Structure 1
Amino acid sequence: MSYHVLFICTGNTCRSPMAAALMKHHYPEVEVASAGVMAAGGEPAAAEAIHAMDERQVEIDHESQPLTKELIDWADVIFAMTQGHKDIMQRMFPGAEQKTVLLKEYAGARGDRDIGDPIGGGSKVYQETAEEMEKALQAAWERYTKEKSPD
């Protein structure tokens, strides 16, 4: 079975492109996209995001795009970085909430379930954000595939 996974954040230059790159790296069989609820199109990933992925030997080839109905329809599951992103998306695209989850919450996180915005935080903050996302992503994907397994 082929899965289509969409990651969303604000501007689609930091968190969601890093999450998408990590997903492609760990699960190359999965089709992955990312978008932003307030994104302009055509922006590269933030330099610090690229550096954080380079440190992990993860390829990140990215151009920002706004969230669209076509992307939502394409996705089997949508991983939002924060509750705010999920709320905005659901106001923009009613009905999308059925396939949208918070990445950290779905991964089983207790307490703070948002992945904070690293923008302006420097290299160390991006590294910490990448680490947090990578752990959440692996746990969330394990859960998702187990729940969607045909047996």
Structure 2
Amino acid sequence: MAVILAQRGGPDIETWPPPAYPGCVHVSFICTGNICRSPIAAAVFRSHVDDAGLTDKVTITSAGTGSWHIGEPCDPRAAAVLRARDYPVEHVATRVNAEHLNADLLLAADAGHIDALIGLGVPPERARLLRSFDPDAPLDAEVPDPYYGAEGGFDEVLAMIEAAMPRLLDWVRERV
């Protein structure tokens, strides 16, 4: 069973967790193979962080819970939707490792990823669903895996991820 921490406006968002390094925050995006959802999220968030002038204060990583795609670039359909919106497309897939597990905040695409992170020893209060930062999404909303779907699924995933970015950026600003 997944632990989903997402009380909008509650203490989870306002006070948790303190940054591991004062003035710096590490956010890691997690999905299954690290070729679709998490690289899209990392690229979009990196753009928001850069635009906010916080590049030197935020570490952004992404990883997959599985090892199927280690060393591969992001899915060509993911790269296409990122390029269409002028987001950077520089990615090599990796599996979750100690660097990711030590992030201040691990943002999972779905509840299965939260279960996997908790199983790897991540305290539940540091693992959240990415869409929990979208004020218009249900608290347990997930980012669906577009890998086996039609190409339009990647556009939908990008829109879901973009909707979460303003509040995620606010969360980071409160900690740097």
TM-score (norm 1): 0.87
After TM superposition, the structure 1 = structure 2 runs for residues 36-115 of structure 1, keeping only pairs within 5 Å, are: 36-40=64-68, 41-73=70-102, 75-91=103-119, 93-108=120-135, 109-110=137-138, 113-115=141-143
Structure number having the greater helix percentage: 1
Whole-angstrom distance in 2 between the partners of 1:103 and 1:11: 16
Count of residue pairs the alignment pairs up? 146
- Residues 60-89 of structure 1, C-alpha deviations (whole Å, 9 max, x = no match): 10000000123211x111111111110012
CA contact (8 A) 1:104 1:140 kept: no
Q: Judge conservation of contact 2:49–2:169 (CA < 8 Å) in 1.
A: no
1:12 aligns to 2:34 (yes or no): yes
Q: Are 1:21 and 2:43 matched, yes or no? A: yes
Give the match for residue 129 of structure 1: 157
| CA deviations over 1:10-68 (Å, ceiling 9, x no partner) | 00000000000001111121221100011342011000000000111001100000001
Q: Which runs of 5+ in 1 are unaligned?
A: none
Report the secondary structure of 1:45's partner residue.
Answer: coil
| CA distance in structure 1 between the partners assigned to 2:106 and 2:59 by the alignment | 12
**Which amino acid letter does the alignment assign opposite residue 47 of structure 1?**
P
Q: Following TM superposition, where does structure 1 have runs of at least 4 consecutive aligned residues deviating by more than 6 angstroms?
A: none
- The CA distance in 2 between the partners of 1:106 and 1:132, in whole Å, is 10
Structure 2 counterpart SS, 1:38: coil
Output the CA distance in 1 between the equivalents of 2:48 and 2:174: 19
Pair 1:146–1:107, CA change in 2 (3 A): farther
CA RMSD, aligned part only? 1.7
Residue identity opposite 2:62 in structure 1: S
Q: Distance in 1 between matches of 2:140 and 2:76?
A: 27
Instruction: Structure 2: state its 5+ residue gaps.
Output: 1-22
Query: SS of 1:89's equivalent?
Result: helix
Equivalent residue of 2:29, what SS? strand
- Relative contact order, higher structure (CA 8 A, sep 6+): 2
Residues 74-132 of structure 1: per-residue CA shift (max 9 Å, x gap): x11111111111001211x1243231111112433216511100112232110111011
